[in-house]
Amino acid sequence: MREDFKSGFATLIGRPNVGKSTLMNHLIGQKIAITSNKPQTTRNRIQTVLTTEEGQIVFVDTPGIHKAKNKLGEYMVHIAERSLNEVDVVLWLVEPSTFIGAGEKHIIDQLKKVRTPVILVINKIDMVKKEELLPVIDMYRKEYDFADIVPVSARSGDNTEELVRVILKYLPYGPQFYDEDTVTDQPERQIVAELIREKALHCLDEEIPHGIAVAIDRMKMERKVMHIDATIICERDSHKGIIIGKQGSMLKKIGSTARYEIERLLDCRVNLKLWVKVQKNWRDSDYLMKNFGYRDEE
């Protein structure tokens, strides 16, 4: 084992929609976390792995910290807050604004309870002029004693190499947790379900709130083709009609865009069949949430 090799865990936190999944996908170099312009698209902790010459960072992407409205919300908040104490460094992603609202104040209150070093990552710097960044940095410095502050653009990748260097600074020396080829510990089924959900959210745009889940009913390789049967679960009969669309047009669109991404992920031909099912109030049912993969591991 190399004595100068560092390895440890970093968690990404931030209000919904600040670009956590986009940043993680950029750092890892492939699509693992789903991205959408709808908030709260990341529901499970997604572990991804970045291995460089200097060390290995295991990223734990958590659901956005927000005030819970239902059982699914409570679960997401609990997972996000608990992970702050289980990692070597916390990355708090914010947008380049001098306004610190109730959501940011809520996160600051959570951070004051942990001993983990916190790096403030100001994302979306491609949206503002350089001179507009200084007031943002000053504003946040007054609120919390950050270990480091790094401005980046998750979309263009600007300054992300510097961010990796800064993260490694706070990791302990130690062995690799995963081999160099590993990019995630998520089971394929879960990533496939997330990809289908992402495509559904994109295709449906504003028509349906994010009260949909995806269950993989079957995933089997036969004659070099991966056969996947999946069910999109929604909360209302009216939603079911919108997801299926006129003569099945919307469901076909979701299926074809999802299949393209899944083929890239699995590197093989895919035969994807989709169904739609109504499960009223599934987000308030512990049983159904566990059924759809939202398990709180101890």
Q: Annotation-wise, does 124 bind a ligand? A: yes
Query: Per-residue confidence at 298, pLDDT binned at 50, 70, 90?
Result: very low
E-strand stretches of the chain: 6-13, 46-51, 55-61, 89-94, 118-122, 148-151, 213-222, 225-234, 269-278
Q: Annotation-wise, does 241 bind a ligand? A: no
Q: Annotation-wise, does 172 bind a ligand? A: no
User: Which one-letter amino acid corresponds to residue 186?
Assistant: Q
Q: Are 198 and 22 in contact (CB under 8 A)?
A: no
Q: Is the pLDDT of residue 20 over 90?
A: no
Q: Please state, in angstroms and rounded to a whole number, the distance separating the CA atoms of residues 116 and 63.
A: 19
Q: Annotation-wise, does 63 bind a ligand? A: yes
Q: Annotation-wise, does 101 bind a ligand? A: no
Q: Annotation-wise, does 8 bind a ligand? A: no
Q: Please state, in angstroms and rounded to a whole number, the distance separating the CA atoms of residues 208 and 71.
A: 19
Q: Annotation-wise, does 39 bind a ligand? A: no
**Residue 43 or 6, more confident:** 6
Q: What's the mean per-residue pLDDT of the chain?
A: 80
Q: Annotation-wise, does 25 bind a ligand? A: no
Q: Annotation-wise, does 17 bind a ligand? A: yes
pLDDT of residue 42: 42
The per-residue pLDDT for range 172-196, each reduced to its tens digit, is 998 888 777 666 655 677 778 888 9
pLDDT of residue 13: 84
The per-residue pLDDT for range 65-93, each reduced to its tens digit, is 556 667 766 766 676 667 687 889 999 99
pLDDT of residue 290: 61
Q: Which residue bears the tokens 């890892």?
A: 28
Q: Please state, in angstroms and rounded to a whole number, the distance separating the CA atoms of residues 60 and 49.
A: 9
Q: Please state, in angstroms and rounded to a whole number, the distance separating the CA atoms of residues 105 and 224.
A: 52
Mean pLDDT of 2-24: 82
pLDDT of residue 59: 84
pLDDT of residue 40: 40
Q: Annotation-wise, does 181 bind a ligand? A: no
Q: Annotation-wise, does 113 bind a ligand? A: no
Most confident listed range (5-9, 195-199, 201-205, 280-284): 5-9
Whole-Å CA distances, 38 to 15, 60, 102, 170, 275: 12, 20, 19, 32, 23
CA atoms within 13 A on the CB side of 112: 8
Whole-Å CA distances, 39 to 135, 146, 209, 211: 26, 26, 10, 12
Q: Please state, in angstroms and rounded to a whole number, the distance separating the CA atoms of residues 64 and 43.
A: 9
Q: Annotation-wise, does 136 bind a ligand? A: no
Mean pLDDT of 266-291: 78
